[in-house]
Amino acid sequence: MRGREFIRHLENDEATARLGDDIAAALRPGDVVFLHGDLGMGKSALARAIIRAIAGDDTLEVPSPTYTLMQEYPLRLPVHHLDLYRLSEPGELAELGVEEVAAEGALLVEWPERAEGALEATITIRLSEAGEGRDAAVSAGEEAARRLEHSFAVRRFLVDAGCKDASRRFLLGDASIRAYETVHMEGRKAAILMDAPARGDEPVVRDGRPYSHIARLAQSVSAFIGIANGLRAQGFAAPKIYAQALEDGLLLIEHLGSGAFLENGLPVPERYEAAGALLARLHQRDWPARFPVAEGQEHQLQPYDRQAMGIEIELCLDWYLPYRFGRNPSDQERQQFLDLWEKLFSRLEQAEQSLVLRDYHSPNIIWRQECEGDDRLGLIDVQDALRGPAAYDLSSLAFDARIDISNPLRQRILQAYCDARTDAAFDRDALEEAFALTAAQRNTKLLGTFVRLCKRDGKSGYLAHLPRIRAYLREAIRHPALAELAEFYARHRLLDEDVHD
């Protein structure tokens, strides 16, 4: 196997468990892990650690498959654990359906030499005695080796941050390049590992620039540090930064809790109202153009202008329309669409401007029941913040993309915001127009974004949100300021229900 080899010394069972965490974090569907070693070398212990890390359950029963040959674990990454010590001949593997299950998840194979070449390893781990403990020689081909190297770099980061004995558990991977883990240390509050390498190697879409540059998405973790620092300085609950490795895109940050805005899958009105009122207070603050990141380094707040908003709404033409109708837009359709939006962007430029977090909705707001005031609402996923129309985050909340928000609840959110705007300059009529315009822009973008996530990234679950997004758009474009856009959408049947969904 061409690639790289990593040597890890395992001085005790805890070190074996940590290696299991690190291997688990690097595994992907299709990986086949060979576990070599004499009897008693800890192959089963390491396999058990890997499976428990993927399950996020340190007490999960993981029996040895010596007699059954294979144990199945239907986890977020499906795992099959094989022990081939009692394999009578390689043909038995075909009876187990090993090739089929290998494509769906990961295989952990003890005594792989008994398969006589019937399986090919992605990652090979050889365990051997070394002093009072064991050595694990981990080797892999180039692609898997890059994943392993990154996972081991995360471990070094945690050690340098004073978390040598920490366990790592997958938390989530969002719709972008970021991934998150929960970091547990005995006797200490859990923390969050944010793993967000700097963007790179993205396809150019216009004017020599990739989409993320034009839409002004965060290019590195520096943006998160700056915005989180700025929010905390103004009295809002954003995560504290415990440790940072900017070049590697790694942050160890405060765990703000896990309180949700939903109960039994339904929105809790009082929590949404509290989030609306918090936005009002946020919009009455003066926000700087630059936020501190590290000594001698700042994050500059970029504008959420017609260029960024424009590239976003074009996703509707480039992805949603072909999905919906099986064709690309004509040049005339595209130009009419863009001309209509240029007029609307001009109106938004006249609206109140403030800090815009951009994804201010239920998955990114933590309900902290034990806290008081603005500290009760934890703000996460803030790295893409810009300066733009203040109404944008309010419409993001009141037209929550992940859960149905009824019109009565939407009006309660809007009223809670308006009641909390105590400044004399506040203009409710102007706010309601900007609220409708930003809701239309955001949901037009999301039609394309969710189809792109399905077709380009293989995340088909996002298509389930399309009926909700169309319903939101039908509501938003009822505002008189959107009459021309409403006529265009109706003429092209963009918001008709779709048998595809």
d(CA 225, CA 244): 9
pLDDT score at 415: 98
Please list the residues that pair with 217 across neighbouring strands: none
Residues of the chain above pLDDT 70, percent: 98
Rounded average pLDDT over 33-60: 95
Tell whether the model's pLDDT for residue 176 goes beyond 80.
no
Residue 2: the pLDDT is 55
* Three-state DSSP class for residue 501: coil
Kindly state the average pLDDT of the residues 409-427: 96
- Residue whose pair of structure tokens reads 């005594």 in the numeric block: 111
Q: How many other C-beta atoms can be found within 10 angstroms of the C-beta atom of residue 305?
A: 16
pLDDT at 170: 94
**Quick one: which of 436, 287, 421, 299 has its CA closest to 353?**
287
- Structure confidence at residue 501 as a pLDDT band (50, 70, 90): low
pLDDT of residue 500: 65
Please give the Cα distance from 282 to 285 (Å, whole number).
6
Write the CA distances from 459 to 17, 146, 453, 488, integer angstroms. Answer: 31, 23, 5, 29
pLDDT exceeds 90 at position 96: no
Q: Is the pTM of this model over 0.85?
A: yes
In terms of residues, how long is the chain? Answer: 501
User: pLDDT tens digits for 370-395?
Assistant: 999 999 999 999 999 999 999 999 99
Q: What mean pLDDT do residues 157-163 have? A: 96
Find residue 353's DSSP bridge partners: 389
177 pLDDT higher than 90: no
Alpha carbon distance 198, 239 (integer Å): 20
pLDDT of residue 439: 98
Could you tell me where the beta strands, DSSP code E, fall in 11-53? 32-36
Domains along the chain with CATH numbers: 4-160 (3.40.50.300), 259-491 (3.90.1200.10)
Average pLDDT over residues 424-434: 96
Residue 95 reports pLDDT greater than 90: no
Does residue 397 contact residue 275 with C-beta atoms inside 8 Å?
yes
% of the chain at pLDDT higher than 90: 84
Q: Return d(Cα 154, Cα 148) in angstroms, integer.
A: 10
Q: Which residues of 282-300 are buried (b: 16+ CB within 10 A; e: fewer)?
A: bbeeebeeebebeeeeebe
Q: Over the chain, what is the mean pLDDT?
A: 93
**Residue 232 to residues 227, 237, 239, 358, 376, Cα–Cα distance (Å):** 9, 6, 8, 18, 13
> How do residues 108-134 score in pLDDT, each as one tens digit?
999 999 887 888 999 999 999 998 899
Contacts (Cβ under 8 Å, ≥6 apart) of 445: 312, 313, 315, 316
| Alpha helical stretches, state H, 259-399 | 269-283, 306-315, 321-325, 331-349, 391-398
Q: What is the pLDDT at residue 68?
A: 83
Place of tokens 């609840």: 409
Rg (CA), the chain: 26
* Residue 174 pLDDT class (50, 70, 90 cuts): low
Do the beta carbons of residue 248 and residue 242 sit within 8 Å?
no
Contact 67, 95 (CB under 8 A): no
* Helical H segments across 362-427, by residue range: 391-398, 407-420
Around Cβ 422, how many Cβ atoms within 10 Å? 9
